[in-house]
Amino acid sequence: MEIKFTHHQSAHCENGVVSNLMKHNGFNISEPMVFGIGSGLLFCYIPLLMVNHAPAITYRAMPGFIFKRFAKRVGIKIKREKFKDPKKAKTRLDENLNKNNPVGLQVGVYNLAYFPDEYRFHFNAHNLVVYGKQDDTYLISDPVMEGVTTLTDKQLEKVRFAKGAFAPKGHIYYPTDFPKELELESAIKKGIKQTCREMLAPMPIVGVKGIRTIAKLIRKWPKKKGVKVANHYLGQIVRMQEEIGTGGGGFRYIFAAFLQESSKILNNDKLAELSKEMTQIGDLWRDFAVDASRIYKNRAAKTDGYNDVADQLDIIADKEEIFFKKLKKAI
């Protein structure tokens, strides 16, 4: 059986699943809208946690948070379930498909058969939509892919029950209740306010201050850890920033797109101006990635290079600090 479901490619999986499920239910909500209302933008360094043998840095909110906040702010209700038993997880999925209800699933990337091998890491916060089943093959709409795809029930069970950090535990979710009209205006304001609060938080690992902390660490790495490890760490930062799903520039461009769309909804010209400013900041992040890649490309780099890219991050931090203070006042 196949549910009539329109697949739209998106940059990021979580926004994409939400946006596609909303569109399926008759609400034309773009990916940047979901991202902005859900306060997806962030910078956070998580000390002590190592990912792929390098420090963990994220440019976005915790997996699941974007949808949760989005739902609360626009007034929709979501049903979520996790399972211990893979059989029960499968039964619940099939029940929903039989009821013509496409559902979102959280899955691990490592065993996702249709992903390019090089991209299959143990990352457990990927999201996709299942919109049908033919024999024992599930029809999959993975928002980061250009078109729809399929997974056998064995393959699907494996990715739904991937282990490690953020293990999905068969996590299934779908909207159950919608208001007559979405409360977009207040939702946008709430989303922006929280992003400003987090980016300006007085904590050394979050937001603007987190960026400065990373800049400091980058200066220390070559001496403390050696060039090889320093390069690996630097590469990891660039990967987190530009990985599939960020839309480029560590989500800064998606956020700028959100501000542009919001300026029309709220009739607020200041947001359109700030959108342009965010685009420029996104370009600075891209420049940082280019210069960082020059360092880890030729392995015998000078320590100057590290100081240079750290300077770039400090400049970005200054600009973002001014930016989010202005944004806070603009709404």
Interface residue list for another protein (CB under 8 A): 9-11, 32, 50, 52-53, 110, 114-116, 118-122, 144-146, 163-165, 167, 231-232, 235-236, 238-239, 242-245, 247-249, 253-254, 256-257, 260-261, 275-276, 279, 282-283, 286, 289-290, 292-293, 296-297
The minimum distance between CB 293 and another protein, in angstroms, equals: 3
The minimum distance between CB 239 and another protein, in angstroms, equals: 5
* Residue number, 161 or 174, with CB nearest to another protein: 161
Q: Which residues pair with 41 in a beta bridge?
A: 60
The CB density around residue 180, as the number of other CB atoms within 10 Å, is: 5
Q: Which two tokens stand for residue 69?
A: 């906040």
- CB-side exposure of 277: number of CA atoms within 13 Å? 16
* Residue number, 171 or 209, with CB nearest to another protein: 171
The minimum distance between CB 234 and another protein, in angstroms, equals: 8
- Pairing of β 103-107 and β 126-134: antiparallel
The minimum distance between CB 164 and another protein, in angstroms, equals: 4
* Angle between helical axes of 269-297 and 252-266 (0-180°, round to 10): 180
Residue whose pair of structure tokens reads 């729809």 in the numeric block = 148
Q: Which two tokens stand for residue 233?
A: 């760490």
* Residue number, 79 or 82, with CB nearest to another protein: 82
Is residue 286 within 8 A of residue 251, CB to CB? The reply is no
Q: Which two tokens stand for residue 240?
A: 């987190």
The minimum distance between CB 176 and another protein, in angstroms, equals: 29
* Residue number, 74 or 292, with CB nearest to another protein: 292
The minimum distance between CB 67 and another protein, in angstroms, equals: 19
* Residue number, 96 or 279, with CB nearest to another protein: 279
Q: What is the DSSP string of 118-185?
A: GG--S---EEEEEEEEETTEEEEE-TTSSS-EEEEHHHHHHHHT--STT--TT-EEEEEE--SS--HH
The minimum distance between CB 123 and another protein, in angstroms, equals: 10
* Residue number, 133 or 169, with CB nearest to another protein: 169
**135 Cβ neighbours under 8 A, 6+ residues apart:** none
* Residue number, 10 or 58, with CB nearest to another protein: 10
SS3 (DSSP) at 50: strand
